[in-house]
Structure 1
Amino acid sequence: MTTTLILGGAAPAATGYVHDICARALAQLRARGSRIVLTDLAGNLDSSPELTRLADDVAALDFTDAERCVEWATAYAAEYRIDAVLAFREYAVVAAAEVAAALGLPGNPPEAVRRVRLKDACREHLRGHGFRQPTLRLCADGREAEAFHRQVGGAVVVKPRSGSSSEGVERVDDPDQMPAAFARACDADGVALVETFVDGPEFSVEGIMAAGRPRVLAVTAKQVSAESFVECGHTMPAPIGAAATEAVTAEVERALDALEVRHGLFHVECWLTADGVVLGEVHVRQGGDWIHAMVEWIHPGLELYGAWLDDLLGRPVDPPTAPRRGAAARFVTVPEGTVAGIDRWEEVASRSDLLAAELTLRVGSRTRAVSSNLERYGVLVVGTASAAAAGPLADRLLASVDIRLAPPAPLMREACGVR
């Protein structure tokens, strides 16, 4: 029997796709006969007993503290054998790499993982290896960011250096607006990344490493809000034709090799522009937003986390490459107001062709304009037998749900300047 250590592997059911990732992974590891050591923050463990019951050993551990994780795992491994280390969360991947290295187990080199976690370091590394990248600068204050904007001209994007879920990401067209945008994006160290805006349709690439080589499982088309960088939908596989799919796939595979990624799952963002593929952010984990479930749906029989473990243990892994079905996710976003009514949600959510359906709104809920992926109000995820059918079906289903907002009261109209 093998033993798998999971860093950050528990989550309450209310977290939706995060909980589903943990549940799928634990079930797939258990089916392979692996003994499971589950660690996470104490609150996550306490709120997900259905997950902790699947583990053989459970310990409270902060997966964002790589040094503490290495200390704990080293002490644990002195008494009990550990064969593999897995992490599903963005903020746990550094700790997983450090622990695997400390225990002499297969894993991504810690320096490679730290590089991809820092957007500017990753971009400059890729640029140095000949990949197209936006022009960028890591800025220490709003004045530096404004000066850089004036230097490069046009639209720029300001974002946190190592964030996720589109939090703090903002397009800025006027350099005079940069100091305020910088203040919203800067991290605890007081820095933020500013880069030139890339014009073109956005995609993400999902895959798994097998015997040290990247194997792309899907190219996903993104729907992104025109007002922000919030992702409103995903369609898998992307309806872009064989030539474009092959171009994106080849560029991502070359980039992962240049970044020295050798194990696990990957989720790489990119754009298709008039000049070719421009790579975006690289993640050494599965995609969020139910992408993991969509990947398994379009490849019947694929078990992402079981295959990941097999690769770490040196077992042969031959993942599929040609999707056999289609999947799509569409997210619920509404403007600011108060929910007055919701119609047809129950009818839509009960359909047999849905992989997931979530809605956090109720009559009386107060809403606001969505500014990050963490603020969306729900999702519909469909799975279809035909690859081409998924996107149109998801669009129709979301459009059929009627979420009505109450009109503002007269005094509020006057106060807001509405006539």
Structure 2
Amino acid sequence: MKQKILMIGFSMVALKQFKDRTDIEVYIIEEEELYEKNKLSEFKTNLVKKIVFGNYIDSEDCVAIAKVLHDEIEFDAVFPSKDYAVKATGKIADLLGLPGLKEKNARILTNKILLREACERYDIPHPRYKKIIRKEDLFNFYEGNPFIFKPATLQASIGISKIESVGDIEKAWENTTSALDNPKITVSREINREHIAEDYVNGPEFSVETLVRDNEIIFSNITEKITFDNNFVEEGHIVPANISAADTEKLLYEKKNLVEKLEIDSGLLHSEWKIEKDGPVLIECAGRMPGDYIYDLISNAYEFDFLKEYSMILMREPTNIQQLATKVSTIRYFNCPAGELKEIKGVDSLMVPEVVDFSIDRSIGDIIPVVKSSWDRVGHFVVVGETHDEVNRIANEILNQVEFEVEIK
């Protein structure tokens, strides 16, 4: 008998990953507005048995819908397809008695202010912070050192401002409070917006992807992050991270502490950390599958299907997880100047065996914006090899050969 998964939010990523599975069938609750404007009816898959409309973005309207569906279908798992679905998914999992992050944790993991308050309660290393309501709050927060001002309820590095002096506050206020989410993933109705300031943390940045079953960590990976110059958007990731044994131990200790203090039931935590001289500091933590194809990097490096095993945890099924990486995998995003795209050169450099996936998401004539969020990037490629030196060498050679010629407008 097939396992029945309720997916909150239509995820083409997950459905493409699950396309060859014969052990599951999927039912989806999606926002009608997103379904229509993203033309999701054109995505065909035999996995999906039913799609119903219901609000889940800053809304719990879908909870009652999920209960009615469950009474009819009896789901084996509820799956959060994206960050904005995590909060509703947590409530549904609690209501239906299914594995999940618990409603209280789903709220914490979708609001950066609530996460900081939890860090205070549970002694998780974190930067000094303050909820920001008025511009004057930024002046009061400033103590002479750089700090970050950002939306507390948005994703993809949208609206992040770095304030290094009092003179930066006016521009940062305008940049952050006026930041707009990608219209493809949000709705036109009014959504709650909150903002937070926190001390800027120096040091290299890593993420830790952790699978948890019944409050026990059963897998953790450390991902090394590379960001574009002068902003906070990721230019790439490396799995597993090229990191010392001492820093690995510190990161995994703090992640275990986070999982235990929050009393995570079952699910996936994608947490982001910076390592200072005194140890790791938690930057953010999400309760859903990581973005930027990190799930693929893990699958390539550890040679098991990361998203499949995540779904097996949610379905209370046995897992088949490889604990040690046997390869190194990296993703890099192309760095394209802003302007009208005129020509792309060097694409042939991607046609090597070590490149297992790539995409260029812009066409000649497109207007390329300055990279301010993850949505502004023009494409990516994935390299898999035996060592960090090998994948970094190949990735850098490709980045040097693929050129985007633009006309500055």
TM-score, normalised relative to structure 2 = 0.89
One-letter amino acid of the structure 1 residue matched with residue 107 of structure 2: R
Find out whether 1:172 has 2:172 as its counterpart. Answer: no
One-letter amino acid of the structure 2 residue matched with residue 212 of structure 1: N
Q: What residue number does 1:61 align with?
A: 54
Q: What residue number does 1:206 align with?
A: 209
Q: CA offsets per residue over residues 323-377 of structure 1, 9 Å max, x none?
A: 11111111123232233322111x1333332232111333333223211111111
Q: CA RMSD in A?
A: 2.2
Q: CA offsets per residue over residues 145-194 of structure 1, 9 Å max, x none?
A: 12211xx3210100001111000011111123213312332386564111
Which of residues 128, 146, 160 in structure 2 aligns to 1:155?
146
Q: What residue number does 2:188 align with?
A: none
Shift of 1:49: 4.1
Find out whether 1:37 has 2:27 as its counterpart. Answer: yes
Shift of 1:296: 0.7
Find out whether 1:283 has 2:276 as its counterpart. Answer: no
Q: What residue number does 1:233 align with?
A: 236
Identity rate of aligned residues, in percent?
24
- Distance in 2, matches of 1:94 and 1:182, equals 27
Q: CA offsets per residue over residues 14-42 of structure 1, 9 Å max, x none?
A: xxxxx333311354xx33x2232133232
Higher helix share: 1
Q: What residue number does 1:104 align with?
A: 97
Shift of 1:52: 4.1
Secondary structure in 1 aligned to 2:125? coil
One-letter amino acid of the structure 2 residue matched with residue 353 of structure 1: E
- Distance in 2, matches of 1:99 and 1:255, equals 23
Which of residues 290, 293, 296 in structure 2 aligns to 1:293?
296
Measured at CA, do residues 65 and 138 of structure 1 come closer, stay the same or move farther in structure 2, by a change above 3 Å?
closer
Q: What residue number does 2:258 align with?
A: 255
- Distance in 2, matches of 1:221 and 1:47, equals 33
Measured at CA, do residues 401 and 111 of structure 1 come closer, stay the same or move farther in structure 2, by a change above 3 Å?
same
Secondary structure in 2 aligned to 1:285? coil
Q: What residue number does 2:338 align with?
A: 336
- Distance in 1, matches of 2:247 and 2:44, equals 40
Secondary structure in 1 aligned to 2:48? coil
- Distance in 2, matches of 1:54 and 1:296, equals 21
Q: What residue number does 2:276 align with?
A: 273
Measured at CA, do residues 59 and 193 of structure 1 come closer, stay the same or move farther in structure 2, by a change above 3 Å?
same
Which of residues 120, 125, 129 in structure 1 aligns to 2:122?
129
Secondary structure in 2 aligned to 1:258? helix
CA contact (8 A) 2:125 2:280 kept: yes
TM-score, normalised relative to structure 1 = 0.87
- Distance in 2, matches of 1:199 and 1:371, equals 20
Measured at CA, do residues 85 and 191 of structure 1 come closer, stay the same or move farther in structure 2, by a change above 3 Å?
closer
Shift of 1:44: 7.0
CA contact (8 A) 2:124 2:257 kept: no
Shift of 1:232: 0.9
Find out whether 1:403 has 2:404 as its counterpart. Answer: yes
Shift of 1:255: 1.0
Secondary structure in 2 aligned to 1:305? helix
Measured at CA, do residues 357 and 122 of structure 1 come closer, stay the same or move farther in structure 2, by a change above 3 Å?
same
Shift of 1:382: 1.2
Shift of 1:243: 2.1
Q: What residue number does 1:383 align with?
A: 384
Q: CA offsets per residue over residues 373-409 of structure 1, 9 Å max, x none?
A: 1111111111223354223321221221122233x5x
Secondary structure in 1 aligned to 2:73? coil
Secondary structure in 2 aligned to 1:98? helix
Secondary structure in 2 aligned to 1:361? coil
Measured at CA, do residues 365 and 56 of structure 1 come closer, stay the same or move farther in structure 2, by a change above 3 Å?
closer
Q: CA offsets per residue over residues 264-305 of structure 1, 9 Å max, x none?
A: 2221100011111111101111211111111111111x2223
Number of positions where the alignment pairs a residue of Structure 1 with one of Structure 2:
393
Secondary structure in 2 aligned to 1:208? strand
Secondary structure in 2 aligned to 1:78? helix
- Distance in 1, matches of 2:264 and 2:200, equals 27
Secondary structure in 1 aligned to 2:341? strand
One-letter amino acid of the structure 2 residue matched with residue 25 of structure 1: F
Unaligned segments of structure 1, at least 5 residues: 11-18, 413-419
CA contact (8 A) 2:156 2:375 kept: yes
More displaced 10-residue stretch of structure 1: 255-264 or 320-329: 255-264
Unaligned segments of structure 2, at least 5 residues: 179-190
Measured at CA, do residues 260 and 26 of structure 1 come closer, stay the same or move farther in structure 2, by a change above 3 Å?
farther
Measured at CA, do residues 361 and 53 of structure 1 come closer, stay the same or move farther in structure 2, by a change above 3 Å?
same
Secondary structure in 1 aligned to 2:288? coil
Q: What residue number does 2:186 align with?
A: none
Which of residues 75, 79, 87 in structure 2 aligns to 1:86?
79
